Amino acid sequence: MKVLVVGGGGREHAIVDALTRSASTREIVCTPGNPGIAAQARCVAGLQQPQALAELARAEGADLVMVGPEGPLAAGVVDELQRSGILAFGPTLAAARLEGDKAWSKAFMQRHGIPTARWRSFDVLPLALEYAQSQPLPLVVKDAGLRAGKGVTICQTQAEAVQALAAIFEQPQAQVVIEEFMVGQEVSVLAFADGLKAVQMPPSQDHKTIFEGDTGPMTGGMGVICPYPLGEADCQHIQAAVLDPVMRGMAAEGQPFVGVLYAGLMLTAQGPKVVEFNARFGDPEAEAVLPLLTTDLAEIALSCAQGRLQPQQVRFADSASAVVVLAAPGYPNEPVRGIPLTLPMPGVNQRLYHAGTAVRDGHLVSAGGRVLALQACAPTLPAALREVYDLAARVGFAGAQYRRDIGGRLGLTPEV
Ligand code: GLY
């Protein structure tokens, strides 16, 4: 089949890379893509609006469209594709609210008995301030809209809560979710969803703050280990307590969920609780998880779009994967663009995904906050970490920021 991939970051590079291993895929087109993706697929310059994307899919004769980022999903690209009779892997606008509207999402969890942190939502500042002041610290303040993973502040003091709330309410039509701070290990459980059922991928763990030791501002994600060591019983519990109720609830409310259902979970002393849902592959979780997929991504995505996914279609290698993100100096606030990049040839078990790169005057340069996502597979996580850090050491990127402690929350260090 011919597959059109929408997006141009590290996640979409990993999707395209997985499609190059798909026997059912004869052609891959990506919009807008990036210089790394261009080595593996034909890239078509940036189209953002749902109608323009649907026209492109029609003009290309795409059999399937896979939508990577949350932006086009929240703009209704899947609805537009469906109206045009084109199969799409991704949720409709209504189903994407699970990610795009955090207040709605929390209310959905409440309606369907899905475990999550205690919360309240507000659309005016004075009531939000009054509630925040009545709550114990630390406290989590979330912008209810889409903010590329950066709309969350963990407030250690009331002054920080006031500041975070004031910043959110500077925007028009702001809404905020204030929730209790949960303690535990954070795990990303992604699942392929066909509208009725969700089939899990191996659990992974992202590292969301910019600095080592889980300090500094939140980012889109700085590195991942996969699999996070959850037992079979834990995975079954997450299926029964979180994923299945989402699938049933969304279908019952008339908006069946198709695409990647991403449950961000906290493993608390009371069991797993949902931190947030995303309606797409995580980035950089996709870069860690997809290299382990041994079955055909396009077949899986097509089956999801047609509501006929079989669990046996989804198989992963029994090995480990690690991702380290190289970010530009100044990220996440003001990333420096235009820094020359020199890329090494990755080894057989290493991959180099482009996230924010561009070609200027014939030279590869940084063009975003997260610039490269480096990945390695190995039989164990310490070996995968060693491989990925070896690759990082060979990249030429002056001033690159990257965390040297990926896996450290589990006490893992690169094997020497
Ligand atoms: N890695 C976090 C996210 O994709 O939202």
Q: Is the CB of 34 under 6 A from ligand 1?
A: no
Q: What is the Å distance from ligand 1's center to 362 Cα?
A: 31
Q: Is the CB of 272 under 6 A from ligand 1?
A: no
The pLDDT of residue 150 is 65
What's the CA gap between 322 and 379, in Å, rounded?
11
> Residue 72 phi/psi, 5° resolution?
-60, -30
Q: Quick one: 114 exposed, middle or buried, by C-beta within 10 A (0-12, 13-18, 19+)?
A: buried
Q: Is the CB of 369 under 6 A from ligand 1?
A: no
Atom of ligand 1 nearest to the CA of 283: 4
Q: What is the Å distance from ligand 1's center to 134 Cα?
A: 30
Nearest CA to ligand 1 atom 4: 282
Helix-helix angle 10-19:297-305, to 10 degrees: 100
Which of the 8 DSSP states describes residue 87?
Answer: -
Which tokens go with 255? 């908006």
Instruction: Among 201, 222, 262, name the best residue to mutate to test ligand 1's pocket (greatest count of ligand atoms within 8 A of Cβ).
Output: 262
Which of the 8 DSSP states describes residue 184?
Answer: S
Q: Is the CB of 287 under 6 A from ligand 1?
A: no
Secondary structure (3-state) at 299: helix
The structure's pTM equals 0.96
Q: Mean of the pLDDT values across residues 46-62?
A: 92
151 pLDDT band, cuts 50/70/90, is confident
Q: Is the CB of 70 under 6 A from ligand 1?
A: no
The pLDDT tens digits of the residues spanning 162-188 come to: 999 999 999 888 999 999 999 999 999
26 pLDDT band, cuts 50/70/90, is very high
The pLDDT of residue 199 is 98
Q: Is the CB of 282 under 6 A from ligand 1?
A: yes
Average pLDDT, the chain: 96
- Under 8 Å between Cβ of 231 and 380: no
Nearest CA to ligand 1 atom 3: 282
Q: Is the pLDDT of residue 149 over 70?
A: no
Q: What is the Å distance from ligand 1's center to 162 Cα?
A: 26
The pLDDT tens digits of the residues spanning 302-324 come to: 999 999 999 999 999 999 999 99
Instruction: Among 261, 283, 287, 403, name the best residue to mutate to test ligand 1's pocket (greatest count of ligand atoms within 8 A of Cβ).
Output: 283
Instruction: Among 274, 275, 278, name the best residue to mutate to test ligand 1's pocket (greatest count of ligand atoms within 8 A of Cβ).
Output: 278
The alpha carbon dihedral of 48, 49, 50, 56 has a sign of negative
Q: Is the CB of 223 under 6 A from ligand 1?
A: no
Q: Is the CB of 205 under 6 A from ligand 1?
A: no
Q: What is the Å distance from ligand 1's center to 17 Cα?
A: 19
Q: Up-side HSE of residue 228: CA atoms within 13 Å toward CB?
A: 27
Q: Mean of the pLDDT values across residues 129-140?
A: 95
- The most confident of 161-175, 206-220, 374-388, by mean pLDDT: 374-388
Q: What is the Å distance from ligand 1's center to 148 Cα?
A: 8
Q: Where are the beta strands (DSSP E) in 156-287?
A: 176-180, 185-194, 198-200, 205-206, 209-211, 215-218, 223-226, 258-268, 271-278
